[in-house]
């Protein structure tokens, strides 16, 4: 009998923590999904939902050896295959939010025979160096306000214990993830009680972000990912520009985009029926009614952002 929670050992010995929900024959793997797993429970109908913390994140084993962090997002791609092998999954469906939406596509390009379908929600763009035009990005006053408050918080850092600093950081950060500030209270992603999460910013700055910035995804890489891919993206996303969602759907050979008008980085919170219904339909084998083929980066002139 398989465990519903435990650890998977990666190829280099790092251990990542997992949870499993549901018992269906199809398996959806959600890397880094534990912070929003409660929002995914509806997807367990007739499926198995497998979520896990990335290496050195959440309840995964803490890592002191920099060699086990140095490859950044490429470690995450390798760990995803270790999870697949641990659970003897011949094929799987993948669901990734934010930069994990990028990571699961890197995996799908490298191991296309192992992936049935991919859902990207608010995914980081395929090229970190691209500057999208204002109508495809959302660098607004809310983002500027966060940066100012964060600078102020940093000045008080020495007087705060790490957990309190983390909580105050998330109290100001969560506002950028939603379009309506009233929805910010539903962003509970900090997990400040966990030392790995409190320390993640250093890992992000030193290893993960540089590895993303150094990516060079080729036309051949995109062409290798022939499985159906559903991109779900809010037009007011401040963390991963809406243009990135269009970019993915345009460059992948079998992808479509569900645009969530007026939503930011957590569209399943801001438009739950639209987003969850679309994902359920897609994972069930059909393109959702709102899914569009994208042939141009810019939107049609008659459609408002």
Q: Average pLDDT in the 119-142 region?
A: 94
> Each residue of 242-251: pLDDT tens digit?
999 999 999 9
Say yes or no to pLDDT of 191 above 80. yes
Q: What integer best gives the mean pLDDT of the chain?
A: 94
Which residues in the chain belong to E strands, given as ranges? 5-9, 15-22, 26-31, 47-52, 92-97, 115-121, 229-234, 255-260
Q: Average pLDDT in the 222-246 region?
A: 97
Angle in degrees, CA 109, 113, 114, rounded to 5: 90
| Residue 288 near residue 277, CB atoms below 8 Å | yes
> Each residue of 33-84: pLDDT tens digit?
998 888 877 777 788 999 999 999 999 999 999 999 999 999 999 999 999 9
**Res 186: pLDDT:** 93
Q: Is 26 exposed, middle or buried (0-12, 13-18, 19+ CB in 10 A)?
A: middle
Domains within the chain, CATH numbers bracketed: 5-138+207-283 (3.40.50.1820), 141-200 (no CATH)
* 2 — pLDDT class (breaks 50, 70, 90): low
**Res 155: pLDDT:** 92
Q: Average pLDDT in the 126-130 region?
A: 96
**Res 302: pLDDT:** 40
**Res 44: pLDDT:** 73
- What 8-state DSSP symbol labels residue 66? G
Say yes or no to pLDDT of 26 above 80. yes
Q: Coil, helix or strand for 94?
A: strand
> Each residue of 135-170: pLDDT tens digit?
999 888 998 899 999 999 999 899 999 999 999 999
**Res 43: pLDDT:** 78
* 23 — pLDDT class (breaks 50, 70, 90): confident
Say yes or no to pLDDT of 234 above 70. yes
Say yes or no to pLDDT of 100 above 90. yes
Q: What whole-number percentage of the chain has pLDDT above 90? A: 87
Q: What whole-number percentage of the chain has pLDDT above 70? A: 97
Say yes or no to pLDDT of 300 above 70. no
> Each residue of 268-285: pLDDT tens digit?
999 999 999 999 999 999
Residue (of 233, 11, 254) closest to 112 by Cα position: 254
Say yes or no to pLDDT of 25 above 50. yes
């Amino acid at each position: 009998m398989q465990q519903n929670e435990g650890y998977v050992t990666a190829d280099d010995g790092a251990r990542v923590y997992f949870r499993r929900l549901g018992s269906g024959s199809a398996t959806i793997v959600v890397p880094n999904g534990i912070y929003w797993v409660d929002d995914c429970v509806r997807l367990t109908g007739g499926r198995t939902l497998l979520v896990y913390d990335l290496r050195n994140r959440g309840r995964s084993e803490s890592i002191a050896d920099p060699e086990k962090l140095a490859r950044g997002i490429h470690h995450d791609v390798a760990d995803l295959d270790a999870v697949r092998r641990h659970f003897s999954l011949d094929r799987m469906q993948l669901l990734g939010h934010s930069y994990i939406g990028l990571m699961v596509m890197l995996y799908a390009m490298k191991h296309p025979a192992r992936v049935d379908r991919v859902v990207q929600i608010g995914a980081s763009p395929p090229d970190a160096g691209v500057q999208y035009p204002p109508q495809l990005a959302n660098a607004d006053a809310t983002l500027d306000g966060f940066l100012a408050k964060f600078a102020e918080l940093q000045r008080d850092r020495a007087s705060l214990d790490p957990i309190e600093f983390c909580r105050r950081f998330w109290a100001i950060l969560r506002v950028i993830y939603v379009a309506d500030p009233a929805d910010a209270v539903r962003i509970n992603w900090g997990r400040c009680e966990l030392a790995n999460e409190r320390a993640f910013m250093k890992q992000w700055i030193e290893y993960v972000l540089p590895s993303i910035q150094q990516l060079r995804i080729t036309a051949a890489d995109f062409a290798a990912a022939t499985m159906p891919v559903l991109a779900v993206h809010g037009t007011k996303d401040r963390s991963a520009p809406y243009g990135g969602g269009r970019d993915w759907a345009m460059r992948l050979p079998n992808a479509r985009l569900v645009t969530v008008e007026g939503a930011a980085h957590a569209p399943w919170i801001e438009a739950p029926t639209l987003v969850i219904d679309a994902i359920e339909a897609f994972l069930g084998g059909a393109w959702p009614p709102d899914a569009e083929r994208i042939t141009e980066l810019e939107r049609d002139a008659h459609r408002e952002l």
